[in-house]
Structure 1
């Protein structure tokens, strides 16, 4: 495995996205509810508002759109290419804005549940 994607397992949209990543990527995918957040140096607010990326050494190295980029880099084409594009300095600010919009309105997206509203 190349790393771990830590997501909100209470959110239906997030869970569906994690299932997609499981089919297409080569990384571990774990809901934050199954982890010892203190051991990772994460807070519940951090993990409930943005996906996190843990590298193979165990360090949490990315959050939000940057974490999505790292996860996509573990996928095959064309998703790996998209992950690379998301890391480009000119694209990163726009990816971050897009991520925040999706995170804010995730309860209105397909696959969402009432838990996403919390």
Structure 2
């Protein structure tokens, strides 16, 4: 892969895809954006299980998941987004962001753009 950051998301999930497309349009994602289903996960240092569970930001040998992936995306986007990204890396905002991320991820099939397939385990989609 390139030295460019990589944003990995669940391409089978309507909510995830809608969210990533929104971020590309409104925030300006400065990364290679790829559904995990088409990514070379071993080359990126990512397991399939982790990619199924959360959005991932891969950069410089580090893999950041969930709310911390979103924080890294915001930081990379520059102003006006980067201050929010830096804030999401510091407790107690870090803890709150991770809790909110888990709540959203666990209910993504109920959210706008979500589909019943989002609630199924990957092997049953």
Taking structure 2 as the reference length, the TM-score comes to 0.83
- Corresponding residue number in structure 1 for 2:72: 70
CA distance in 2, matches of 1:22, 1:5: 11
Deviation sequence 1:45-65 (CA, Å, 0-9, x none): 10011011111x3x2421111
In the comparison of the two structures, how many residue pairs are matched?
A: 116
Residue 42 (structure 2) aligns with: 38
Q: Once superposed, which parts of structure 1, at least 4 consecutive aligned residues long, lie more than 4 Å away?
A: none
Q: CA RMSD in A?
A: 1.7
The structure 2 residue matched to 1:28, chosen from 32, 41, 53, is 32
Matched, 1:51 2:63: no
Q: Match of 1:84?
A: 86
Secondary structure in 1 matching 2:76: coil
How many angstroms does 1:75 deviate by? 2.4
The equivalent position to 2:20 in structure 1, one of 1, 18, 21, is: 18
Mapping 1:88-99, distance limit 5 Å = 88-99=90-101
Contact 2:46/2:63, CA 8 A, preserved across alignment:
no
Q: Secondary structure at the match of 2:88?
A: helix
Identify unmatched segments of 5+ residues in structure 1. Answer: none
Runs (5+) with no aligned partner, structure 2: 121-125
Match in the other structure for 2:123:
none
